[in-house]
């Protein structure tokens, strides 16, 4: 496999409908995932009827209470560990595109403000944003007005991000200064929990892999995935655009089952797998598997759509 050199420019790509998702991504071990290169750049919402859990971009488990955090096109939601209802977090309807959990009640994200925040002066591209109160409020840390990360991962005390506007793969050790390491097309990526330089990406041409922190990439064998999630205990998982779920053991990928619907976001943890998907009635549903992806139980189905 020949390493791919960084490319100077990125073109907008046609994206299958079910790749309007986000990835990624999400969790303490550097699991990033799924992205929509064209999704949500111009739309914001605030006030009026609550659109509910629609168009999920990312999933994550908050270590503070075990709740499932759902980052969407119209704000973020919390599904308690012991219940199946979704509670809106805070009063923001911001479009949280990139999303990852960095610690208890500590989240990182990116995306676009809601109408009220735009009127208050926030830029249309939020750059890297941070919440230290479980998503109730967010602060812009860096790249505000410049970057729209559709993929984020926090691992090895570093933030890894993929900018949807330019295709830049970027890394920061302090959340403020960034190194651009390459330019490529990605749907999502995942960072090896055991190696900060080992990254697997999913793109329009298939899987790609880096062993030098994202500076160079090589084609990798495996299924055509649109979502990746890498957990220290669960391992490396992915989902394709048909909803089929795959797990990599060593260098081999094996299909483990299928999500009932078109996937929007995917998350692997030590205890369970989670997937947000469009169901047969075009509602957003969140499923959970506790048997390595063989079967999926409905965790939440949004009634508002």
Q: How far apart are CA 259 and CA 21, in angstroms?
A: 14
Q: How far apart are CA 50 and CA 109, in angstroms?
A: 21
Residue 242 and residue 276 in contact, taking contact as beta carbons nearer than 8 Å? no
Q: How far apart are CA 91 and CA 190, in angstroms?
A: 30
Counting every residue, how long is the chain?
305
Q: How far is CA 275 from CA 57, 92, 94, 177, 240, in A?
A: 11, 23, 21, 33, 12
Residue 18 main-chain phi, psi, to 5 deg: -80, 0
Q: So where are the chain's domains?
A: 17-301
- pLDDT at res. 304: 65
Residue with tokens 């097309």: 185
The yes/no answer on whether domain 17-301 falls in CATH 3.30.450.20 is no
Q: How far apart are CA 300 and CA 54, in angstroms?
A: 12
Tens digits of pLDDT across the chain (305 residues): 333 333 333 333 334 333 333 333 333 333 333 333 333 443 444 445 788 898 899 999 999 999 999 999 999 999 999 988 999 999 999 999 999 999 999 999 999 999 999 999 999 999 999 999 999 999 999 999 999 999 999 999 999 999 999 999 999 999 999 999 999 999 999 999 999 999 999 999 999 999 999 999 999 999 999 999 999 999 999 999 999 999 999 889 999 999 988 889 999 999 999 999 988 788 899 999 999 999 999 999 988 65
pTM listed for this prediction: 0.85
Residue 105 main-chain phi, psi, to 5 deg: 60, 15
Q: How far is CA 245 from CA 25, 75, 224, 294, 298, in A?
A: 15, 27, 11, 9, 16
Produce one character per residue of 249-265: b if its CB has 16 or more CB atoms within 10 Å, e if not: eeeebeebbbbbbbbbb
Produce one character per residue of 8-24: b if its CB has 16 or more CB atoms within 10 Å, e if not: eebeeeebeebbbbbbb
């Amino acid at each position: 496999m020949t390493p791919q050199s960084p490319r100077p420019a990125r073109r907008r790509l046609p994206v299958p409908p079910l790749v309007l998702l986000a990835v990624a991504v999400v969790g303490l071990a550097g699991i990033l995932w799924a992205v929509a290169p064209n999704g949500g750049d111009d739309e914001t919402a605030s006030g009026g009827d609550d659109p509910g859990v629609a168009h999920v971009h990312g999933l994550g488990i908050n270590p503070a209470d075990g709740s499932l955090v759902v980052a969407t096109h119209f704000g973020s939601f919390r599904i308690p560990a012991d219940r199946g209802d979704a509670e809106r977090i805070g009063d923001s309807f911001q479009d949280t595109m990139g999303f990852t959990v960095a610690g208890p009640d500590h989240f990182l994200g990116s995306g676009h403000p809601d109408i009220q925040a735009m009127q208050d002066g926030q830029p249309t591209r939020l750059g890297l944003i941070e919440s230290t109160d479980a998503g109730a409020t967010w602060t812009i840390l860096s790249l505000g007005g410049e970057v729209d990360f559709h993929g984020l991962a926090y691992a090895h005390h570093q933030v890894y991000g993929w900018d949807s506007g330019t295709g830049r793969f970027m890394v920061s050790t302090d959340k403020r200064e960034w190194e651009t390491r390459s330019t490529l097309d990605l749907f999502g990526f995942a960072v090896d929990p055991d190696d900060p330089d080992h990254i697997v990406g999913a793109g329009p041409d298939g899987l790609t892999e880096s062993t030098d922190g994202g500076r160079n990439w090589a084609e990798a064998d495996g299924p055509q995935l649109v979502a990746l999630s890498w957990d220290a205990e669960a391992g490396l998982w992915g989902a394709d655009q048909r909803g089929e779920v795959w797990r990599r053991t060593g260098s081999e990928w094996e299909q483990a089952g299928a999500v009932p619907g078109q996937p929007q976001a995917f998350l692997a943890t030590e205890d369970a797998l989670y997937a947000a998907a469009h169901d047969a009635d075009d509602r957003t549903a969140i499923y959970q598997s506790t048997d390595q992806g063989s079967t999926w139980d409905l965790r939440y189905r949004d009634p508002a759509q």
